[in-house]
């Protein structure tokens, strides 16, 4: 891909993507770019657009499965150092897309601002969390967003305010190539109370989810009014193993991987769970994770 020569300071070829994902499986990116600032990012996007080079943006990698064959084109990696600043002004918190969600929550709590603590324990970065409207049963990230600035595939930047954004269960209207920054409007509250709520949620999460294992969180979305985990468990698939991947004993909507796992092992388990739940319950499970 010689047409990317102008960007050689920020591009590596054939970069393995597994280390950038929580599942730790999958192949390489043909080109892997880590722009140092917004200007460089914009130039790269415009160039790739003009040259028709496919682009993908890598977030925190916690809801992503990369195929064993890897991906063509450019994977753009926004690093927390360059795109992850978090700052507070009054009751508004502004975060770069690459800020870990945990950092955003910590800064908000320290500023005595409540709301985002319901997201405690969700891995990944702000951009991906917004794109997929990450959340729990107690709330999701979308409900606190007041504006989001994005970069389109053509390299145009613009800001979308609250009334131009919509969020629903694990989905959002933000479909531009890159999320750059977001602003959250929060409520002042007693930090002791905020921390107490956060601790309670964290304990519940730890009790029900295999958090100490390699995984991408829940694999499927919950079908309306049902639990994907319960359906997979009732299909008798807990602890089903293919290669180095296993349907978690603790929570059947999680697939955990070990060092020997391949993306294909995970894909086969996904297919197995989908088929079993469709046959036994007539329910089509929809993926929550993204597959490249
Ligand atoms: N259940 C089973 N077997 C299982 C797993 C769950 O019977 O293997 C049952 C539980 O006993 C419970 C019900 O299913 O009665 C719901 O389970 P849980 O409370 O664990 O919540 P969930 O619906 O499976 C959702 C989110 C999680 C989020 C939790 C807590 C989805 C797909 N999952 O899980 O989000 O952490 O609620 O708020 O919406 C994620 O999206 O990656 C994720 C982990």
What stretches of the chain adopt beta strand conformation (E)? 11-16, 28-33, 55-58, 64-65, 71-77, 86-89, 92-96, 113-114, 135-136, 139-140, 145-151, 157-161, 167-168, 171-172, 178-185, 187-188, 241-242, 245-247, 255-257, 290-291
Q: What is the number of residues in the chain? A: 292
Whether 250 has a pLDDT exceeding 80, the answer reads yes
Phi, psi of 16 (to 5 degrees): -60, 135
The residue whose CA has the least distance to atom 20 of ligand 1 is 208
Query: In the prediction, which pLDDT does 214 show?
Result: 94
Expressed in angstroms and rounded, the spacing between residue 205 Cα and the centre of ligand 1 is 9
Task: Give the per-residue pLDDT at 2.
Answer: 54
Q: What does the alpha-carbon distance between residue 141 and residue 115 come to, in Å, rounded to a whole number?
A: 9
Q: What is the pLDDT of residue 272?
A: 98
User: Per-residue pLDDT averaged across 51-61, rounded?
Assistant: 96
Ligand 1 atom with the shortest distance to the CA of 248: 8
CB of residue 136 inside a 6 A radius of ligand 1: yes
pLDDT, residue 212, reads: 85
Q: Is the pLDDT of residue 1 over 90?
A: no
How many angstroms is it from 100 CA to the middle of ligand 1? 22
Mean pLDDT of the chain: 96
pLDDT in tens, 185-241: 999 999 999 999 999 999 999 999 999 889 999 999 999 999 999 999 999 999 999
Q: What is the mean pLDDT of residues 160-181?
A: 96
Of 4-8, 17-21, 64-68, which gets the smallest average pLDDT?
A: 4-8
Mean pLDDT, residues 2-17 taken together: 92
Nearest CA to ligand 1 atom 13: 227
Question: 25 phi and psi, to 5 degrees?
Answer: -130, 170
Average pLDDT over residues 84-113: 97
Query: For a pocket test of ligand 1, which of 227, 251, 276 has the largest count of ligand atoms closer than 8 A to its C-beta?
Result: 227
Taking a C-beta distance cutoff of 8 angstroms, is the pair 23, 218 a contact?
A: no
Say if residues 80 and 100 touch (Cβ distance below 8 Å): yes
Q: Per-residue pLDDT for 50 more than 90?
A: yes
Give the model confidence (pLDDT) of 259-282 as tens digits. Answer: 999 999 999 999 999 999 999 999
Q: What is the predicted pLDDT for the residue at 3?
A: 84
For residues 103-112, average pLDDT: 96
Question: Could you tell me the pLDDT band of residue 138, with boundaries at 50, 70 and 90?
Answer: confident
User: Tokens 């089509």 belong to which residue?
Assistant: 284
Per-residue pLDDT band for 86 (boundaries 50, 70, 90) equals: very high
Ligand 1 centroid – CA 134 distance (Å): 13
pTM of the model: 0.95
């Amino acid at each position: 891909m010689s047409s990317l020569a102008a960007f050689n300071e920020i591009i590596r070829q054939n970069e393995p993507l597994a280390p950038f994902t929580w599942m730790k499986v999958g192949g390489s990116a043909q080109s892997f770019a880590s722009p140092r600032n917004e200007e460089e990012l914009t130039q790269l996007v415009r160039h790739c657009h003009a040259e028709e080079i496919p682009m993908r943006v890598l977030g925190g990698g916690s809801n992503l499965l990369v195929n064993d064959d890897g991906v063509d084109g450019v994977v753009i990696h926004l690093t927390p150092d360059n795109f992850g600043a978090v700052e507070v002004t009054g009751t508004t918190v502004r975060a770069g897309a690459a800020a870990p969600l945990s950092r955003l929550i910590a800064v908000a709590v320290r500023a005595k601002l409540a709301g985002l603590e319901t997201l405690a324990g969700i891995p990944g970065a702000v951009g991906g969390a917004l794109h997929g409207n990450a959340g729990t049963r107690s709330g999701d990230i979308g409900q606190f967003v007041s504006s989001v600035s994005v970069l389109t595939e053509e390299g145009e930047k613009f800001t979308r305010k609250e009334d131009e954004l919509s969020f629903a269960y694990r989905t959002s209207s933000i479909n531009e190539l890159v999320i750059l920054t977001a602003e959250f409007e929060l409520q002042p509250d007693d930090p002791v109370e905020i921390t107490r709520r956060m601790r309670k949620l964290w304990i519940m999460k730890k009790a029900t989810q295999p958090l100490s294992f390699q995984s991408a969180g829940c694999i499927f979305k919950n079908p309306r009014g049902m639990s994907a985990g319960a359906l997979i468990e009732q299909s008798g698939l807990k602890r089903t193993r293919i290669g180095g991947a296993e349907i978690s004993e603790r929570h059947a909507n999680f697939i955990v991987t070990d060092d020997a796992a391949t993306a294909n092992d995970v894909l086969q388990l996904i297919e197995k769970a989908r088929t079993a739940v469709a046959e036994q319950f007539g329910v089509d499970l929809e993926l929550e994770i993204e597959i490249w």
